[in-house]
Structure 1
């Protein structure tokens, strides 16, 4: 088996499986108690990954918020915030986005052979651009991250990225937080897109933890190897 980082996929969704709605405002699915839990998980990671669609839609900073946790990372000889990683097939990334401009840590952009020259010209020296195949190959991404000493990767979305990692069978741990409401919009972004998943009725995941955090609930799963 090829060596790769331990992959933890984290998502917050409505009860009908939406990770956002169709408005331009950010949809808050979680609460402060869970935000702190996510911050703790981030602090334990070597890298945090989101798709370029998430950067365009949410403009996330993807930093460790807690000063104490940042100090602990620095004391361990690690950057205050984990390495930040994004994937883009189209090459549509904004070097002025918070992903690139916040956090004193390295930023990586994985893209296709075709898009790589344009992405390098666009982001300049704010990020390292890495080619990951004719189409983005998640296994190539993970192999490159291992070469960069990433042992623990946290994947935070969005739906296309979740789908890519889950269908590839490379997720070791899944954290799902459910918000106590419905979005109810047919075209709202979903946790995953339609696909063939190894996590299916014939290969159920193992539930390892349930936790109430205020008005949301956390479910932790470990996928099983396909029979």
Structure 2
């Protein structure tokens, strides 16, 4: 399972304006499209759907054709996590290609009711979101490569639970500096704390963006 994120130099996912801040350049957007094409499923949190209203598609026709030739669906499965169940059926993600799956809580499932009937399958994980149980359920559905695209709470949850195998961090040459803007990670009890070092597996230049590939299950200081 890999986390994919673009951040500013000072660690923000966006600014606080009504319009989405485009951190990636055209070359990096194409790279993300290729990662999506190689994935079995793409996961985002409900806040990402509300703020960005993405379609979560593989845009390149050749990549979609290669998926079909390999016996895969044209698009990866789209997975949303929402503890509250506050999801608008008018969001674009439900109305564009690929299967859709929502993980929620018992209370969230009750709140959703049949609002997503015919648009997405809804699965309750119990009284709270258990990300380990979520991954187990995806595994039973045949999902072997999961791409997580955010937002910050979702990235924080996977990293703090030590569930991520890979982190693709695209660093844009932009400074946001607004405390009201969303950050990449939230305060959490990360495994190993500040004594744990993630392994830097690769560093690539993508136009004016630095792409860092980290393996979160790195080694301890002094180990």
TM-score by length of 1: 0.94
Instruction: Determine whether 1:216 maps to 2:173.
Output: no
Question: Secondary structure at the residue paired with 1:125?
Answer: coil
Alignment match of 1:179 (pick from 148, 163, 172):
172
Alignment match of 1:127 (pick from 93, 101, 120):
120
5+ long unaligned stretches in structure 1: 1-6
User: Any conservation in 2 of the 1:120–1:129 contact (CA below 8 Å)?
Assistant: no
Question: Secondary structure at the residue paired with 2:13?
Answer: coil
Equivalent in the alignment of 2:134: 141
**Cα RMSD (Å) of the superposition?**
1.2
- Cα displacement string for residues 44-103 of structure 1 (whole angstroms, at most 9, x for unaligned residues): 100000000000000011110100000000111111110000000111111121111111
Equivalent in the alignment of 1:63: 57
Equivalent in the alignment of 1:97: 91
Question: Secondary structure at the residue paired with 1:86?
Answer: strand
Counterparts of 1:1-227 in structure 2, within 5 Å, are: 7-103=1-97, 105-198=98-191, 200-224=193-217
Equivalent in the alignment of 1:4: none
Give me the whole-angstrom Cα distance separating, in 1, the residues matched to 2:218 and 2:109: 34
Question: Secondary structure at the residue paired with 1:49?
Answer: strand
User: Any conservation in 1 of the 2:84–2:107 contact (CA below 8 Å)?
Assistant: no
Q: Tell me which stretches of 4 or more aligned residues in structure 1 moved more than 4 Å.
A: none
User: Any conservation in 2 of the 1:133–1:140 contact (CA below 8 Å)?
Assistant: no
5+ long unaligned stretches in structure 2: none
Give me the whole-angstrom Cα distance separating, in 2, the residues matched to 1:207 and 1:42: 22
Give me the whole-angstrom Cα distance separating, in 2, the residues matched to 1:166 and 1:35: 24
Give me the whole-angstrom Cα distance separating, in 1, the residues matched to 2:132 and 2:28: 30
